[in-house]
């Protein structure tokens, strides 16, 4: 961590997500000071204090780093052929996960480490500074323990997802696998994890089984979150709210009662539009959730099967174009919303005291994230006050 202070000056539009201001808490013609890894000051450029290192943002927009609150990054191999087949008309089924399980089990620790580090670097280059990472492609005690241990090397937001899918060796005996995931597997994984998650869906785990795993996880000191209502209008969202889960993720098929339950709870509805894009499923109805008063987060669900994209900007563009979110709502959901889905108060905003996760866009406003889809717009990134993505300076050779 640098002990020097940095002054980012000449910011055309500073998105603070300050809850005391409306919407994105935008300050125009702004400056921001980073000190000891934290945001030390924000305000009008004309009143900026002096600092050791100046950085001229050149009128660009500055946002909090993206908080990707849902990703599956401990895996080996890829499934491009499955994607191509699906785009030729074959529907997505949860069983495709087992292909990745086989590849992941066969991979060395260092192969898994190299893959997760590659993906995290890819995310950082796109402005993502906080990443949640799940296990769930090991599905044995040793393999799941290995997955959460390797994830914990690179992020604090580690989720134990032993109950991702029933592995082939437990085919036909989901109850026995649920028991394993709630006992020995959980005990091996809990020391490395913060969260416990279940894929509650037809073809995966039913509500009783999900409850068994989540309650055991809570007893082991983990906090719950859930894969809920991705493929069907099942009982998962209600269970997530009942257990005060930090987040119900997917929320693609919701009843009115589900929407009401989310709106009157602390459980964030995390929408993962990259999945619907990559599986040609209908998008979740973000407008309905927002109008009801629910808190909405956007995340990638980056994984080799149902969505192999690590791009939060892509999620924002789809959410605006096809889920009726405004650009401001989508940007908030990809930053402050993700932080709420992880129950974090130190990230997702740029007010004094926040971790200095700073994303300088090569654009004058946050709207460009949706307005210019598919275009790389990350100019520079600081994570905890350390510059992790350097600005491109033409002719400077670096
Ligand atoms: Zn997922």
Separation of alpha carbons 347 and 338, rounded Å? 9
Answer whether residue 90 shows pLDDT above 80.
no
Distance 48 CA to ligand 1 centre (A): 42
Tell me, in angstroms, the distance from the centre of ligand 1 to residue 46's CA.
Answer: 45
Distance 268 CA to ligand 1 centre (A): 15
State the pLDDT at residue 368: 98
The reply to whether 126 and 249 lie within a common domain is yes
Residue 233 and residue 176 share a domain: yes
With a CB cutoff of 8 Å and minimum separation 6, the contacts of 122 are: 310
Percent of the chain with pLDDT over 90: 91
Distance 176 CA to ligand 1 centre (A): 23
Question: Taking 90 as the threshold, does the pLDDT of residue 318 lie above it?
Answer: yes
CATH number of the domain that 222 lies in? Answer: 3.20.20.140
| Residue 397 neighbours by CB under 8 Å, 6+ apart | none
**Is 394 part of a structural domain of the chain?**
no
pLDDT class of 182 with cuts at 50, 70, 90: very high
Give me ligand 1 centre to Cα 89, in Å. Answer: 22
Ligand 1 center from residue 70 Cα (angstroms): 6
Q: Tell me the backbone φ, ψ of residue 142, rounded to 5 degrees.
A: -65, -45
Token readout for 273 is 């539009």
Domain contains 228: yes
Average confidence (pLDDT) over 30-57: 97
Compute, in angstroms, the gap from residue 166 CA to the centroid of ligand 1: 15
pTM: 0.96
Asked if 185 and 243 sit in the same domain, the reply is yes
Ligand 1 centroid to residue 233 C-alpha, Å: 17
Residue 181 lies in domain: 67-341
User: In angstroms, rounded to a whole number, what is the distance separating the alpha carbons of residues 341 and 362?
Assistant: 27
Residue 390 has pLDDT above 90, yes or no: yes
- Ligand 1 centroid – CA 226 distance (Å): 9
Spacing, Cα 331 to ligand 1 middle (Å): 21
Q: What's the pLDDT band for 391 if we cut at 50, 70, 90?
A: confident
How far away, in angstroms, is 363 Cα from ligand 1 center? 31
Grouping H, G, I as helix, E, B as strand and the rest as coil, residue 197 is strand
Q: How far is the CA of 307 from the centre of ligand 1 (A)?
A: 9
Residues 6+ apart with CB under 8 A from 84: none
Q: State how many domains the chain has.
A: 2
CATH of residue 377's domain is 2.30.40.10
DSSP 315-345: HHHHHHHHS---HHHHHHIIIIIHHHHTT-S
Q: Within a domain: residue 395?
A: no
**Å from CA of 133 to ligand 1 middle:** 9
Specify whether 124 is located in the same domain as 235. yes
168 and 222 in a single domain? The answer is yes
**Do residues 287 and 273 share a domain?**
yes
CA of 352 to the centre of ligand 1 (A): 33
Chain segment 230-271, per-residue pLDDT in tens: 988 999 999 999 999 999 999 999 999 999 999 999 999 999
**Do both 81 and 131 map to the same domain?**
yes
pLDDT confidence bin for 203, thresholds 50/70/90: confident
- Percent of the chain whose pLDDT exceeds 70: 96
Asked whether residue 58 falls in the same domain as residue 75, the answer is: no
Same domain, 59 and 72: no
Residues 377/366, Cβ–Cβ less than 8 Å: no
Same domain, 222 and 85: yes
Selection from 133, 121, 50 nearest residue 381 by Cα: 121
């Amino acid at each position: 961590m640098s002990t020097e202070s940095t002054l980012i000056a000449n910011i055309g539009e500073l998105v603070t997500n300050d809850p005391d201001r409306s919407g994105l808490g935008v300050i125009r013609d702004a400056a921001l000071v980073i000190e000891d890894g934290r945001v030390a000051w924000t305000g009008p450029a004309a009143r900026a204090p002096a600092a050791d290192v100046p950085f001229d943002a050149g009128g660009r927009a500055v946002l909090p780093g993206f908080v990707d609150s849902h990703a599956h990054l401990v895996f080996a191999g890829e499934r491009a052929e499955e994607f191509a087949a699906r785009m030729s008309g074959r529907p997505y089924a949860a069983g495709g996960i087992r292909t990745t399980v086989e590849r992941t089990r066969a991979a060395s620790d260092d192969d898994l480490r190299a893959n997760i580090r590659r993906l995290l670097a890819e995310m950082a280059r796109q402005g993502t500074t906080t990443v949640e990472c799940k296990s769930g492609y090991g599905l044995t005690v040793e393999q799941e323990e290995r997955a959460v241990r390797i994830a914990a090397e690179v992020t604090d937001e580690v989720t134990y997802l032993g109950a991702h899918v029933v592995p082939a060796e437990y085919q036909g005996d989901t109850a026995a696998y649920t028991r394993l995931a709630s006992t020995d597997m959980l005990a091996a994984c809990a020391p490395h994890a913060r969260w416990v998650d279940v894929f509650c869906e037809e073809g995966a785990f039913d509500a009783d089984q999900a409850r068994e795993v989540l309650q055991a996880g809570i007893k082991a000191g983990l906090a719950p979150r859930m894969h809920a209502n991705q493929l069907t209008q099942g009982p998962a969202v209600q269970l997530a709210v009942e257990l005060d889960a930090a987040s119900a993720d997917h929320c693609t098929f919701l009843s009115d009662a589900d929407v009401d339950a989310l709106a009157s709870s602390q459980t964030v509805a995390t929408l993962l539009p990259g999945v619907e894009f990559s599986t040609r499923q209908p998008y979740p109805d973000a407008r309905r959730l927002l109008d009801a008063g629910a808190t909405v987060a956007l995340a990638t669900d980056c994984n080799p099967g149902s969505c192999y994209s690590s791009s939060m900007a892509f999620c924002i563009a789809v959410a605006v174009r096809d889920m009726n979110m405004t650009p401001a709502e989508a940007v908030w959901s990809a930053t402050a919303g993700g932080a709420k889905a992880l129950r974090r108060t130190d990230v997702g905003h740029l007010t004094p005291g926040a971790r200095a996760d700073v994303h300088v866009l090569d654009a004058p406003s946050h709207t460009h994230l949706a307005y210019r889809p598919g275009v790389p717009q990350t100019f520079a990134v600081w994570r905890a006050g350390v510059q992790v993505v350097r600005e491109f300076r033409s002719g400077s050779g670096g």
